[in-house]
Amino acid sequence: MSRFLPLARRSCPLDNRSRGLCAAATGIALCLAVATPAADQNGAMRELVGRHLVLLTDLPPSTEVDELPAVFDRAVPQWADYFQVDPQRVDGWQLRGYLMFDRERFRAAGRLPDDLPPFQHGYQRGDELWLNEQPTAYYRRHLLLHEGTHGFMNAFLGGCGPPWYMEGVAELLATHRWQTQRLELGYFPRSKEEVPYWGRIKIIQNERAAGRTMTLAEVLRYDHQAHQQLAPYAWCWAAAALLDGDPRFQARFRNLRHDVGDRSPEFSQRFLERFRDDAPQLLEQWQLMAAEIDYGYDVARAAIEYQPARPLPAEGATIELRADRGWQSTGLVLEPSAAYRLAASGRYQVADQPRSWWCEPQGVTIQYVQGRPLGMLLAAVREEPPLPHTTSLASPQPVGREAALRPERAGVLFLRINEHPRGLADNAGTLRVLVTRSAERPSAATDPD
């Protein structure tokens, strides 16, 4: 007898898919050859019992396998907190899971029903979940937490919403850090070594390099077949990471938990209507994130700061710029018929380990980011309204201490310092940037680019 809400049948499509770029053909066979320990020769199944998960497996004992119920038990209160479910409701909740090295053994034992669709990684239905053995301990846990998120949402929210939200929020919460028995869900990986075999960031970088950047609208339109490929998991994770990690968007995104009974496109339509006032900012932030995403990308600090547009006063204007933030609007509208001069000063911190690294607007040449000195002042003149498919903030111009600027089009001047996407948090201090109109339109030879 189920102790929780009746569950709708659903499929988790973390299945039937190629593993991206290198393992598409070799797939699971590669996994088995590389990392999976030999199955128990006696054919014995072991039952690993936790409070919220009973896991049946044919894998031999190991710390990483045997601690999975404990990992799951630490996830449950975090899911309850994230989805604002009363902890008392989840008290007696339990799923049954199957972690399979030899699927036929489970089929013969009646644990892998014939009516499940074929799946390569994992599947969740009702109060059960199935996991195929994975090549790394990280990805095995990730898969358990992904399917567990589906199970939790089905049990306590009554559904998972349409594909982008169902898979995006499962990927968001499954991406984790597990250290010294502490579990952190919704973790943004700082290096690929933290998340072996996960690969979501690499997929986005590769898709972008191949000219296949998804717009946010396209991600929200994924249908129920889309997740037979791996790339949609990466794009849905990125969308969830942005919407959940950016303070401007987080409340609206988290409110979607009330709406997950609807799997139709109207779910997304209603969601987008909540962005009537700031849809351009959301779409521009997505474009910028798709262009710059990397391990440790600081979603909150990368949030573009906007200002009301205003003309440049005749005497010029002095802007104060924070070193620990991404793009910041000056609000100043620059005209293509004019030339401008930017002059920057200030001393600010660009790292704090092993001690403070101090920097001035020309940057420090000890370290380069995107081919330019770390900490160097950058500028972009951003069209208003922004271009529909790519923001000019993704193609900045170097300024340093001083530069002439001749905009090709009218737009608002944005500034930031050159910094790795993961490097904003340990910055401190400000720069002052004086923006003036030049007497003469500069020749092309004096342009910074």
Q: CB under 5 A: which stretch of 7-15, 60-68, 80-88, 276-284 binds Zn ion? A: 7-15
CB of 329 to Zn ion, least distance (A): 38
CA-based R_g, the chain, Å: 25
CA distance 193 to 64: 17
Residue 12 binding Zn ion, by CB under 5 A = yes
> 170 vs 234, which CB is nearer to Zn ion?
170
Residue 131 binding Zn ion, by CB under 5 A = no
CA distance 71 to 143: 12
Among 448, 377, 352, 367, CA closest to 407: 448
Q: CB under 5 A: which stretch of 4-12, 27-35, 242-250, 279-287 binds Zn ion? A: 4-12
Q: CB under 5 A: which stretch of 5-13, 87-95, 238-246, 385-393 binds Zn ion? A: 5-13
Note whether 242 and 289 are within 8 A (CB): yes
> 12 vs 48, which CB is nearer to Zn ion?
12
Note whether 89 and 5 are within 8 A (CB): no
Residue of this chain nearest to Zn ion (CB atom): 12
DSSP state of 393: G
CB of 153 to Zn ion, least distance (A): 10
Note whether 44 and 148 are within 8 A (CB): no
Q: CB under 5 A: which stretch of 10-18, 192-200, 306-314, 436-444 binds Zn ion? A: 10-18
For 214, residues 6+ apart whose C-beta sits below 8 A from its C-beta are 207, 235, 290
Residue 240 binding Zn ion, by CB under 5 A = no
> 148 vs 423, which CB is nearer to Zn ion?
148
Note whether 122 and 131 are within 8 A (CB): yes
CB of 15 to Zn ion, least distance (A): 8
CA distance 51 to 34: 32
CB of 13 to Zn ion, least distance (A): 6
For 53, residues 6+ apart whose C-beta sits below 8 A from its C-beta are 68, 69, 72, 73, 94, 95, 96, 97, 148
CA 432 to each of CA 2, 184, 308, 380, 445: distance values in angstroms, whole numbers, following the listed order: 63, 39, 19, 16, 26
CA distance 90 to 80: 7
CB of 150 to Zn ion, least distance (A): 6
Phi, psi of 88 (to 5 degrees): -65, -30
> 145 vs 321, which CB is nearer to Zn ion?
145
> 153 vs 351, which CB is nearer to Zn ion?
153
Note whether 141 and 71 are within 8 A (CB): yes
Q: CB under 5 A: which stretch of 9-17, 154-162, 318-326, 423-431 binds Zn ion? A: 9-17
CB of 342 to Zn ion, least distance (A): 48
CB of 12 to Zn ion, least distance (A): 4
Note whether 426 and 352 are within 8 A (CB): yes
Note whether 414 and 393 are within 8 A (CB): yes
Number of residues that bind Zn ion (CB under 5 A): 3
Among 9, 223, 21, 228, CA closest to 119: 228
Residues of this chain, 162-201, that bind Zn ion according to CB under 5 A? 170
Q: CB under 5 A: which stretch of 8-16, 46-54, 247-255, 280-288 binds Zn ion? A: 8-16
- Give the one residue of 4, 7, 10, 14 binding Zn ion; rule: CB under 5 A: 14
> 144 vs 299, which CB is nearer to Zn ion?
144
CB of 415 to Zn ion, least distance (A): 41
**Helix or strand holding residue 168 (H, E):** helix 163-174
> 198 vs 340, which CB is nearer to Zn ion?
198
State the residues that interact with Zn ion by CB under 5 A.
Answer: 12, 14, 170
